Structure 1
Amino acid sequence: MKKISRRNFLHSSAVAAGVAAVSTLAACSSTASSTTASSSSTSETTSWDYEADAVIVGGGGTGLAAGRAAVDAGASVIILEKAGITGGTTTFSGGVMQAAGTSYQKELTSFGSDTPANHANEWIAEGEGYVDEELVKALAEGAPAIIDWEAELPEIKWVSVYGHCHVPTVPRELEADRIHVYEGGGAAGQGGVLTSALANYCKEKGVNIMTNTAATRLITENGEVIGVEAETEEKVIRVKAKKGVILAAASVDQNKEMAKRLAPQQYWALENGTCMCVAGNTGDGLRMGMEIGADLYGQGGTIDFCGTTGNATNNTIPTMPCIIVNKAGQRFVCEDATYAYQYRAIFQQEKQLGGKTYMVFGQEALSDPGAIWTAETVADAVAAGTLLSADTLEELAAAMDCDAANLAASVASWNEMVSATGEDRVFGRRTGLNTITGPFYAMMNVPCNLGSIVGLRINANCQVLDVNGQPISRLYAGGMNAGGWIGPYYPGSGTAIIGTQYHGKVCGEQVAALTAWC
């Protein structure tokens, strides 16, 4: 199995005060011409600038997959992309995808008997009771076929499969290596291999990809979504969707106002760290859906990781001997649990105690297989201010502004436990179970962010649901524009990208199969 460096990680993304009323528009003709409304309280005359069977809002991973699926099913397709290029945040990912029971998993790992049901059960356990289990099971069951679907693209050749780091609360028997890596993928930015392949395919098949075109509202008539209004660099346009509209515009990743209300950890990450999502991920799809009564689903979580160390981004590199402590100087989380599980705890501790958290380690950790620093580079990091150093824990605690007695007790407790038992009997850590001795170092935990976990509520057919749980006619959503299929923390690399591809394919096929409304 190909070994993945920790440095080459990644999977690989304002609310209206009330629900706004969207004017119903006139019944359309078979051509892009003006007609007058005949069955609404607000008479409005409109003309259509463009039309297609499927109109897709967003040209990232989900939107491009939806375009591919819809055009393959015989539908005409328009993709409205806010940015000047396609790809979205998927481009910044590693492009890796989780799936169980594939031929590649059987060939490249020791988990040949793994199943989609086992995969679903792990995702459900990681969801802590908050996910829509129907959505999770559908994704797990559909994921293997997506791996084969991607392999039909000449640019995608699957070459390795590895696993995400463990979650202490999840039964060990549910774990397996499921993260599929294609040739030229696996590192930050290499999701572009996938998005470029999808964009090229769509263009070759006649999909009209309109860049620098920001969708602003959904156009409805008699409870059905019949089009999209958008702004180009020159004017406002109206695009008729003869069969349906697909929302694929990510989540509230770069919108502080919406994040503060809907995804508190995302707001914290925007305030305290670095967001790697594209600037256009401002919650447009959520807002547009909410304006016509769509429900939301999400637990306020986000996808955060340590951009400095890449700690716990996959199971091929152990975590070095260290502990993570809060402002009180106390250890509070399993340090080799999967990265977003750790960062949820980091967020909670920093908000609860009103102070920063740190990774603390000693000089001898620099020779550990999981160390990100060497004896040479650690000096540079100290000089640059990205690491604190001290000969004693008391001095280190002063630099960290944390409780010195608690920090000393935390390190002593760790050292005693791993020396006596070789186990972590507190949080269930598996790697880096060695003592911490001076000189000592501390790195402040700073979130590197890949987007929020809140989206529109959908069913297994990717239909957007209203606040009563009923489908909004001719409106679909998927990927990170949809919620409910990921729990309160991100369960590991490859989850988001398989979601973009699976949901995109379902959305495209569902819309293509509809009868045109006009």
Structure 2
Amino acid sequence: MSAVNTVSAVDSSSRPSRRTVLRTAGVGAGALLASGLLEAGTAHADLPVLATYDVVVVGSGAAGMTAALTAAKRGLSVVVVEKAPTFGGSLARSGAGVWIPNNSVILAAGVPDTPELAAAYLAAVVGSDVPADRQAAFLANGPKMVDFVMANSPLRFRYMPGYSDYYPELPGGMPNGRSMEPDQFDGNLLGNLLGAELANLNPPYLAVPSGTVVFSADYKWLAIAAVNAQGAAVAAETVARAAKAALLGQKPLTMGQALAAGLRAGLLAANVPVWLNTPLVDLDVVNGAVTGVVVNRSGSPGLIAARRGVVVGSGGFEHNAAMRAQYQQQPVGTDYTVGAKENTGDGIQAGQRAGAAVALMDDAWWGPAVPLPGQAYFCLSERTLPGSLIINQAGGRFVNEAAPYSDVVHVMYQKNPGAPDIPAWLIVDQNYRNRYLFRDVAPTLPFPSSWYSAGSVHQAWTFDELAGQIGVPAAALRATVARFNGFALAGSDPDFRRGVSAYDHYYTDPAVIPNSCLAPLWLAPFYAIKIVPGDLGTKGGLLTDARARVLDASGRPIPGLHAAGNASAAVMGHSYAGSGSTIGPAMTFGYVAANDIADSA
């Protein structure tokens, strides 16, 4: 994969000089362009103006709602347009880790961070993929954004102790981590502020068990609660939180639900409307400047004029099969992502039609996923816990299973042409199943029969039989397990260094010694669980500068157009600094974009 792939749809010299005409409602912009009904460079005086605001924000995720809140508090009139019937997008579905170095929350928790350490670490992680001034803008504005959001919404955050930076051995890396997450939020606030807005919140990716209130930081302990005293205590605490909330009459929200709801509460208090069921069709461009957006509103096309600017925060293109085929390495599937289903690249394509360059389109926020019926499962702790290993189609290991999830999939793609490891297979034994939670299946309980019917899981009493079921050489699988078991007993993995990094030990079992990442596979039956290249969303998009302004192919800002979140090329480049490297920069550059518009105004 290339370091950065940059494409410009329209050079600035040939940008549309007049407005775009739209004569057909309820049809996607791509189809209209292909049919000739939507043509760049023609007037659209017949298109009704639905409203005029200083700022129009496209998308109600982390980037969009932070941008809207910032613009409103800077005294600008703002509207948020959202394609989905719900607000929150992929944010509401997420674990809502937030990676912002040197912010007030983690400093108050005793994290020994400094601007110098943060800059050294981010530079080491990102390298030359992203300009230094954009990295600096993230680091300088992130802490300010956190304080701003807490001052202007009911949101509060809590440090996630021990959740290591993903490369803690690099200069400036933190073995105890810099990540935080939203604190518990009472969903009643959305009802108290304006009607029953809570009903419009996008549901979570995985629902927590009834009668519990679970934070992201709890999952590492819940996975081992059956065999670990602290895990059992955390499980009891999740029940106690729920009981307390019930006594107080609260509707407790955590993780992405809390962060999305908290930002929406801030918008409600600031009188910022969020128009749901209002998909973006195109940007309105006059004399090379973006002056508004064309949307479908209640089934009819219309223009929302923007006096000061447009912020695109509409998410990535993970559910657009054609774009993934165009830009990304194969095989890749829209069924393997856990991003919001509405993320089909509308904002990115609209930006390209306005002359924007794009970058990092070949990449995503990858992670090993299990293709379960109905919804792929993003595999975190399960591949890290001791007593597990991952093999390719040749029956051999090819990666450190406990490495940062994005790295594991990068390796899958790098090695796939020579020794196919898509799909790969997570191999575990019954001892593993007796001890650890797998997704929401408790220890000792059988996997659902539908997982077997779908071919996502196989079970056998011998490794030879298991190899036959998944089509790998039996002798190779036996040899791989035998070699791995020897490493586990010795506590060292010379092949792939599993357990060397502090990050490797976050989702592990501290009772397993000498290496909490490694345990032998010995108790039948044995299981093979299919692993495919999943993702949290794509990370390529509109190319932006340190002020979140969208750039054309010549590196010049397109007047009136800003972008943030997964609609823009990630400040993390091809890497991933720590948990929350999606949401932290998305919120930060939403904040930067709105402030830049306000400063310019």
What's the TM-score, normalizing by structure 1?
Answer: 0.82
2:325 pairs with one of 260, 267, 271? 260
> Contact conserved, 1:389 with 1:441, CA < 8 A, in 2?
yes
1:481 is displaced (CA, Å) by: 0.9
> Contact conserved, 2:157 with 2:183, CA < 8 A, in 1?
yes
Partner residue of 2:35? none
Partner residue of 1:86? 87
Deviations 1:365-397 (A, max 9, x none): 345568777662246678666432333322221
> Which whole-Å CA distance do the structure 2 matches of 1:113 and 1:485 have between them?
23
Partner residue of 2:144? 145
Pair 1:295 & 2:357 matched:
yes
Pair 1:472 & 2:558 matched:
yes
> Which whole-Å CA distance do the structure 1 matches of 2:438 and 2:43 have between them?
67
Deviations 1:48-97 (A, max 9, x none): 33111111122222111111000100111122211223211111112221
Deviates more, 1:476-485 or 1:99-108: 99-108
> Which whole-Å CA distance do the structure 2 matches of 1:389 and 1:360 have between them?
10
Partner residue of 2:538? 452
Pair 1:280 & 2:280 matched:
no
Partner residue of 2:444? 376
SS in structure 1 of the partner of residue 582 of structure 2: helix
Deviations 1:235-261 (A, max 9, x none): 211121111111111111211101111
Partner residue of 2:182? 182
> Contact conserved, 2:121 with 2:171, CA < 8 A, in 1?
no
1:117 to 1:394, Cα distance in 2 relative to 1, 3 A: farther
> Which whole-Å CA distance do the structure 1 matches of 2:402 and 2:452 have between them?
27
Letter in 2 for 1:100: P
> Which whole-Å CA distance do the structure 2 matches of 1:191 and 1:432 have between them?
28
Partner residue of 1:244? 309
Mapping of residues 26-425 of structure 1, within 5 Å: 45=45, 48-108=49-109, 112-127=111-126, 129-153=128-152, 155-164=154-163, 167=166, 171=170, 174-176=173-175, 177-184=177-184, 186-187=215-216, 190-264=255-329, 268-271=332-335, 273=336, 275-298=337-360, 300-306=362-368, 311-312=379-380, 319-350=385-416, 352-354=418-420, 356-366=423-433, 376-378=444-446, 386-420=456-490, 422-425=491-494
1:219 is displaced (CA, Å) by: 1.7
2:497 pairs with one of 404, 409, 428? 428
1:170 to 1:135, Cα distance in 2 relative to 1, 3 A: farther
SS in structure 2 of the partner of residue 445 of structure 1: strand
> Contact conserved, 1:164 with 1:338, CA < 8 A, in 2?
no
1:486 pairs with one of 552, 572, 591? 572
> Which whole-Å CA distance do the structure 1 matches of 2:148 and 2:519 have between them?
44
> Contact conserved, 1:313 with 1:339, CA < 8 A, in 2?
no
> Contact conserved, 1:126 with 1:170, CA < 8 A, in 2?
no
Partner residue of 1:11? none
Partner residue of 1:498? 584
SS in structure 2 of the partner of residue 485 of structure 1: coil
Letter in 2 for 1:24: R
1:441 is displaced (CA, Å) by: 2.3
> Contact conserved, 2:338 with 2:378, CA < 8 A, in 1?
no
Partner residue of 2:221? none
> Which whole-Å CA distance do the structure 1 matches of 2:367 and 2:430 have between them?
24
Deviations 1:220-243 (A, max 9, x none): 222211122111124211121111
> Contact conserved, 1:269 with 1:449, CA < 8 A, in 2?
no
SS in structure 2 of the partner of residue 320 of structure 1: coil
1:429 to 1:168, Cα distance in 2 relative to 1, 3 A: farther
Letter in 2 for 1:343: V
> Which whole-Å CA distance do the structure 2 matches of 1:167 and 1:96 have between them?
13
RMSD: 3.3
> Which whole-Å CA distance do the structure 1 matches of 2:433 and 2:266 have between them?
47
1:106 is displaced (CA, Å) by: 3.7
SS in structure 1 of the partner of residue 160 of structure 2: strand
> Which whole-Å CA distance do the structure 2 matches of 1:481 and 1:343 have between them?
21
> Which whole-Å CA distance do the structure 2 matches of 1:469 and 1:359 have between them?
44
Letter in 2 for 1:401: G
1:164 is displaced (CA, Å) by: 4.5
Deviations 1:268-291 (A, max 9, x none): 1325x2x32222211111111111
> Which whole-Å CA distance do the structure 1 matches of 2:84 and 2:394 have between them?
44
What's the TM-score, normalizing by structure 2?
Answer: 0.72
Letter in 2 for 1:207: V
> Contact conserved, 2:61 with 2:88, CA < 8 A, in 1?
yes
SS in structure 2 of the partner of residue 251 of structure 1: coil
1:128 is displaced (CA, Å) by: 5.7
Report % sequence identity.
25
1:24 pairs with one of 10, 13, 18? 18
Deviates more, 1:66-75 or 1:113-122: 113-122
1:374 to 1:92, Cα distance in 2 relative to 1, 3 A: closer
Letter in 1 for 2:396: Q
SS in structure 2 of the partner of residue 376 of structure 1: coil
Deviates more, 1:170-179 or 1:445-454: 170-179
1:207 to 1:17, Cα distance in 2 relative to 1, 3 A: closer
Partner residue of 1:462? 548
1:402 is displaced (CA, Å) by: 1.0
> Contact conserved, 2:120 with 2:172, CA < 8 A, in 1?
no
Partner residue of 2:206? none
Letter in 2 for 1:140: L
> Which whole-Å CA distance do the structure 2 matches of 1:441 and 1:166 have between them?
31
1:246 to 1:365, Cα distance in 2 relative to 1, 3 A: same
Deviates more, 1:157-166 or 1:450-459: 157-166
> Which whole-Å CA distance do the structure 1 matches of 2:388 and 2:42 have between them?
65
Letter in 2 for 1:296: V
> Which whole-Å CA distance do the structure 2 matches of 1:487 and 1:41 have between them?
34
